Amino acid sequence: MSQQLNQVFLMQKNFSQNAAHEFRTPLTIMKTRIGLFRKKNGLQAPQTEELLQIMEGEANRLSAMVGSLLELTNLEQEDSFEPFHPGKLLQAVADEVSPLAQERQVSITVNASPSTLWGNKHLLHRALFNLMENAVKYSEAGGKVAAAVRCENGWVRVGVTDQGPGIPEELRQQIFEPFFRVDKARSRQQGGVGLGLALVRAIAEHHGGAVIAEAAEAGGSRFVLTLPCEPCPEGTEA
């Protein structure tokens, strides 16, 4: 049974990977044609421009979905690990998300204790970015997002807390499943493709860690990414 399950998982992974590759080319052609049509024809009638915007928006959303699918199915190829400070990485992610936070009038605070991780910096950057971006998107205007790093008992824990609507307890495991949405209408409105948290979980597991969602004390949600601290080769800490 174990072998059969492994075969099913492998078939699903191969299908997702092949489908994503197949979708990438027609989507690129579609986006290019829309851009060329705009350049060649100049200003459009309001109805035509509205149609072009819808087509362009959906093409961009599908392209983002294809990109996330490829990342999700290609994690095993990302085996380049290095030592780095998670606090510095978290601050860099907060700086990247700050334009969106300013637009939504959401403040971000980062509190990091000294610690060192041995992992794939690119993948963990993506995981932290997904968590931070979600926290900003789902916090109410004027809200706060708090991110913190602490190291204890051989584990680094990165917590990202928002002031959003919160997640029902019975759904806190399901939100890490691909394409699952708590509020489908709001997720689509926010531009999500339903793979961000699935990618966070896959990246955490790729590093021998895990991610959970829980209720925040002051309302909203808190996501905790837990990763093992491994001794780094001497003189390589960065």
Q: For the chain, list the strands marked E by DSSP.
A: 82-84, 107-112, 117-119, 144-152, 155-161, 210-215, 221-228
Q: Rounded to an integer, what is the distance from CA 3 to the centroid of its chain?
A: 31
Q: Could you confirm whether 21 is annotated as catalytic?
A: yes
Instruction: Tell me the torsion sign for CA atoms 200, 205, 208, 212.
Output: positive
Are 207 and 82 within 8 A, CB to CB?
Answer: no
The β-bridge partners of 112 are 149
CA dihedral 50, 53, 59, 60 (to 10 degrees): -150
CA-based nearest residue to 204, from 147, 114, 119, 79: 119
Catalytic residue among 21, 85, 125, 207: 21
Pairing state between β 155-161 and 221-228: antiparallel
**First CA to last CA distance, the chain:** 45
Q: How far is CA 94 from CA 130, 137, 190, in A?
A: 11, 13, 19
Q: Give the active site residues.
A: 21
